[in-house]
Amino acid sequence: MSRIEAKRKEKKRRRRVKLALSLILLLFTGGLLVTDYSTREMLAEFDGQVFGYMRNDNIHSIYLFGNLYDINQDVVIETISNYINKAGIYFNKCSDWIYKLLYNVR
């Protein structure tokens, strides 16, 4: 068996393992959702969910294992734009420093 054949077999094995793990994760998540839905329906309890998502205007609500997490879209966009502005400032400072370093050295 040559190296190329061995690499092909190894890639094929890795692909199969990734596919199997993805299917197991999907099956596990689906089982959790079905069990959660049927249990909540039997008990007439609609507050806590295992997984869930709901959107009201700019507020995203994520249900994760019985906890509710609210995310404000405006705050997220503002935070991301601040990071982008800071990165642009640092990039300009670095490019100026490199320019001075390159053109002042003789």
Question: Are 69 and 86 members of one domain?
Answer: yes
Instruction: Pick the last residue of a domain from 31, 46, 61.
Output: 46
Considering the domain architecture, whether residues 102 and 55 belong to the same structural domain is answered as yes
Give bridge partners of residue 67 from the DSSP assignment: 64
Residues 76, 98: one domain? yes
Same domain, 103 and 53: yes
Q: Residues near 55 by Cβ (< 8 Å), separated by ≥ 6?
A: 61
Q: Which domain holds residue 76?
A: 47-106
| 51 and 2 fall within a common domain | no
pLDDT band at residue 93 using 50, 70 and 90 as cut-offs: very high
Within this chain, do residues 88 and 74 fall inside the same structural domain, yes or no?
yes
Residue-wise burial string across 9-33, b where 16 or more C-beta atoms lie within 10 A, e elsewhere: eeeeeeeeeeeeeeeeeeeeeeeee
62 with 52, same domain: the answer is: yes
DSSP state of 105: -
Q: Minimal CA–CA distance to 57: which of 78, 73, 76? A: 73
Q: What is the pLDDT of residues 37-69, one digit of tens each?
A: 888 888 887 777 777 888 888 899 888 887 888
Model pTM? 0.51
Q: Same structural domain for residues 66 and 25? A: no
Q: Do residues 22 and 56 share a domain?
A: no
Number of domains in the chain: 2
Tell me the percentage of the chain whose pLDDT exceeds 70: 96
The separation between the first and the last C-alpha atoms of the chain, rounded to the nearest angstrom, is 57
Whether 62 and 39 share a structural domain: no
